[in-house]
Each structure stands twice: as structure tokens, then as C-alpha cells.
Amino acid sequence: MDLNDQSTGGNENYQEGSSGTRLIPRITIQAFCEISQTAELVESSMQDRRMSRVVLTTHNGGVEGAIGAYGENPTPNLIIVESSQTSDELMNLVQRLAEVCDAGTNLIVLGHINDVILYRDLKNLGVSEYLVLPTSPKNIVNAIAELFISSGATPIGHSTAFIAAKGGSGSSIVAHNVAWAIANDIMQDVLILDMDLGFGTSGLNFNQDPPNGIADALFASDNVDSTMLDRLMSKAANHLNLLAPPAMLNKTYDFKEKDFEQTIELSQHAIPAVILDIPHMWTKWVKYTLSMVDRVVIVAEPDLANLRNAKNIVDELKVIRPEENSPILIVNKVATPKRPEISPQEFADSLDIELFGEIAFDAATFGTASNNGQMIAEISKNHKANEVFTNIAFELMGRTSHEAADKSGVMSISGLMKLIKRA
Ligand SMILES: Nc1ncnc2c1ncn2[C@@H]1O[C@H](COP(=O)(O)OP(=O)(O)O)[C@@H](O)[C@H]1O
Ligand SMILES: [Mg+2]
């Protein structure tokens, strides 16, 4: 049996537009080849129009090269490795590679052995596809399409809703900076859906004057597809895309429960990270959106009103997302001068959830960032808040970066807490 035959079908049913084939989402692919011909083969797959949104880089070194590269770095959506090893050696190396891969990373192996048992064993190890060399660029693209756009493919996008316990607590700022961290530290494509149609600040925060992407997407309702979504998104930075609101008051917006659903689902099929910047309100559509996303981040200031509201949100989430992870709690504007505060740890304890991170009040840095339309990392690279943004980014994307693993979790945060805990 020629194993390459197995990967050719599969995507003919997923046609779109006049071109007849659907585009593969905005994934990043890194290929580690042993010989230059294979690197050229992989690179020539980029000429297929289905690959037009994909970012591909090729490297030397085969599977061992990949193992070396990912010991320290986060892994992309898809790794392609070439191997000329024997079956046993290959199985061994793939196992070692799997150990340094983050959850959610897919692996395609290009090998020289045409052997059904090896194919089955690799599949059992979690390898997405094994293609026997020589193969064609079309076979490679078909295998990628099968992985990311076939009917069985899970949406690539992780969706996260950011909500403030009280207006002004900083959920938009945190959402935008986390999006920046995903784009820059993990180098994955991100889409921010600014759902605050009258007053959203995403355009301002990224110093952009973007078109009204989100309004157009919502009002196109059933006609919105991934090509339209592409057109409506504006690029705020490398890897970072925005569906910005009109931020004008000539129209009013009274959304129904599921009005955002289609745009969110479409985004999740197109982009690895979807960040929902939800305004501080309690409506049917907000509640429904919180129930459908992969993760919820609550941003709260350490005062009584925030505590009461956060408690209500946490309790409600338990009802509408009973099987899901508990929300990520960020206590923001800690140690605001002269303000009596609840300690972040007590705040979290009262909610009976983990304190994921805390961010100190810093009017100068956050004020300058807002006025310049820049992210905190752009104006203050070593600011403590960046650590929190990066930790959230890694948590959301299921990354176990070794650097982030050291930084993440409450251990380092609790050390920080002791330093700034107030009486
Ligand atoms: N840690 C902080 N220190 C100082 N100012 C902050 C901090 N976090 C947020 N801000 C400021 O608070 C204001 C409200 O933030 P925003 O993210 O728009 O709140 P929300 O979306 O929760 O209503 C913004 O002007 C922002 O710059
Ligand atoms: Mg906001």
C-alpha cells in the first residue's frame, strides 16, 4: 500500500467561493528537513493558494533539530519533520519530540520508509500524518488541509472572554496586552473582537483608526464567511488583528442572545487565538458569550464592589459552564495610593478560586501607554505586568514553555504578593 494515497482526499467537500478550495487558517508551520530537496519541496507547497494565510519557516536538522529548537521555545501549530532514520530510531526521536511539544501542536513526519506498521505506530503516538518521500507539494497541502479544515478538524482558535468585575477595572487593557503577548512571545496569530460597540478602546489602544470591522461582521449576519472576515480585520501589529467597533454613537446596539455567535465561531476556525473584549454589562448576549468560549478571564480591582460583582460572576459561571475550568482571576490596580484595599489573596480566597496574577497600579506607565496607543511591553520592556500578561498568554494557548513554566503559577506571584501586601 502506498501511504501517500491516504492523505490525498478529504477536503473536496469544503469548497468556498469560486476558487473551489478552502484556505487553511492562519497557522504557523515550522519544518525541519535533513536535505535541501525536502526543504524545497515543503517550501513549494506555499505556492498552493490554500496556503496563502500560512506562515512557514524551514530549518535544517530533521527531528533532532526540532528537539533542540523546542527545548527552549514555544512550538507552532504544526511541525513538519523529515527523517531518514530506521523505524525504531524514528519512534524514539518522535517520542522525545513529543515531550518538548506544547499541547495543541500537530506533527507531520516525512519519512523514507514505506511501512504500514510504522505508519500505525506513529499514528498511535499522536503523529498527525506520515508521508513517504518522495511526495508532492499537493500531498503535503492535502495533509495540512485534512488536519485543519476537514469536517473532523477541531477549530484551531482558543477563544477567551475578558470581563471586568466593575467598569474601569482594566479588562480591556489586560485583554489587549495578553493579545500582544500571544502575538509576540508565542508568535501566533491573534484576533481581538472588541465587543463594546459604542465605546470600545481597541483602536485607540493600538493607535489605529480601523474600519468598523465588528459592526460589519455582525450586520452581515448569515453572509459573513472567512473571506469577508479577512477583509474586515485590520492589522494592528505583526500577528495581531482587530475587529474594531465603530466607537460612534449615531447608531444604537441592542444585540440578541446569539448575535455574536457566528462571528466568534468563524474566527475560531480562522485564527489560533481569539480574544473577546467584553464590555461591562449583563445582557443575554454577554451571558451567552461567556457560556460558549473556551476560557474566561475576570479582571477586578481589590475593593468591595469588585468583590461582590466578581463573586456573582464566578457563581454564575459555575451554573453556565459547570464542566469547565474555573476562570482566571487577575487583580488589577493593586496598591492604588491612599486606597484601602482587600489583599489580592484574600480577594481570591473569598471567591474560592486561585489568584492567577496581580498587577500593581501604575498611573505613569499605563497612562503613557494609553496616550501613545502602545502596549506596556512597548514602552517598558521589563515592567512586572508583562510577566502576568505572558503567563496568561501561555495558559490560554496551552503552552508549557519552559521559561513560562518557571514564571507561571502562583508561586512567583505569591512571592510578589508578600512584597506589596498592604496593611
Ligand atoms: N494597573 C493599572 N495602573 C494604572 N492604570 C490602569 C491600570 N490598569 C488599567 N488602567 C487604566 O484604567 C483605565 C480603564 O481600563 P480599561 O481596560 O479600559 O477598563 P475596562 O475595560 O475594565 O472598563 C484605563 O485608562 C487604563 O489605562
Ligand atoms: Mg473595556
pLDDT in tens, 212-242: 888 888 888 777 888 888 889 999 999 999 9
What's the CA-to-centroid distance between 196 and ligand 2, angstroms? Answer: 7
Q: Which residue has the higher pLDDT, 106 or 228?
A: 106
Confidence of residue 400 (pLDDT cuts 50, 70, 90): low
Task: Evaluate whether 23-149 and 158-420 have a shared fold.
Answer: yes
| pLDDT over 50 at 249, yes or no | yes
C-beta 333 within 6 A of ligand 1: yes
State mean pLDDT over 269-273.
Answer: 93
Tell me how far apart the alpha carbons of residues 216 and 210 are, in angstroms, rounded to a whole number. Answer: 12
What's the CA-to-centroid distance between 111 and ligand 2, angstroms? Answer: 50
Tell me how far apart the alpha carbons of residues 8 and 141 are, in angstroms, rounded to a whole number. Answer: 9
Ligand nearest to the CA of 332: 1
C-beta 263 within 6 A of ligand 1: no
What pTM, to 2 d.p., does this model score? 0.85
DSSP 183: I
Confidence of residue 12 (pLDDT cuts 50, 70, 90): very low
Confidence of residue 1 (pLDDT cuts 50, 70, 90): very low
State mean pLDDT over 130-146.
Answer: 96
Q: Of ligand 1's atoms, which has the minimum distance to the CA of residue 201?
A: 18
Are 32 and 60 contacting, i.e. CB atoms less than 8 angstroms apart?
Answer: yes
Q: Give whole-number Cα distances, 156 to 82, 141, 298, in Å.
A: 24, 17, 23
State mean pLDDT over 386-402.
Answer: 85
Q: Of ligand 1's atoms, which has the minimum distance to the CA of residue 359?
A: 1
3-state secondary structure of 190: strand
C-beta 171 within 6 A of ligand 1: yes
State mean pLDDT over 114-137.
Answer: 96
State mean pLDDT over 370-380.
Answer: 97
C-beta 158 within 6 A of ligand 1: no
C-beta 177 within 6 A of ligand 1: no
The C-alpha cell at 121 is 505506530
Tell me how far apart the alpha carbons of residues 103 and 397 are, in angstroms, rounded to a whole number. Answer: 8
CB atoms under 10 Å from CB of 261, counted, come to: 14
For 115-168, where are the E strands, in sequence order?
129-132, 158-164
**What pLDDT is stored for residue 134 in this prediction?**
96
Tell me how far apart the alpha carbons of residues 178 and 157 are, in angstroms, rounded to a whole number. Answer: 15
Domain 23-149 has CATH 3.40.50.300: no
pLDDT in tens, 47-99: 999 999 999 999 999 999 999 999 888 899 999 999 999 999 999 999 999 99
DSSP 299: E
What's the CA-to-centroid distance between 245 and ligand 1, angstroms? Answer: 19
The structural domains of the chain, with segments of one domain joined by +, span 23-149, 158-420
**Domain 158-420 is in which class?**
alpha beta
State mean pLDDT over 262-290.
Answer: 95
C-beta 75 within 6 A of ligand 1: no
363 CB burial (10 A radius; 0-12, 13-18, 19+)? exposed
Atom 14 (ligand 1): residue with closest C-alpha?
168
C-alpha 379, offset from chain centre? 23
Q: Which residue has the higher pLDDT, 400 or 209?
A: 209
Q: What is the mean pLDDT of the chain?
A: 88
User: SS3 breakdown of the chain: % helix, strand, coil, rounded to 5?
Assistant: 45, 15, 40
CB atoms under 10 Å from CB of 75, counted, come to: 24
State mean pLDDT over 367-380.
Answer: 97
Atom 16 (ligand 1): residue with closest C-alpha?
170
| pLDDT over 70 at 345, yes or no | yes
**What pLDDT is stored for residue 247 in this prediction?**
81
Are 133 and 107 contacting, i.e. CB atoms less than 8 angstroms apart?
Answer: no
What's the CA-to-centroid distance between 200 and ligand 1, angstroms? Answer: 13
C-beta 164 within 6 A of ligand 1: yes
**What pLDDT is stored for residue 136 in this prediction?**
97
Q: Of ligand 1's atoms, which has the minimum distance to the CA of residue 167?
A: 23
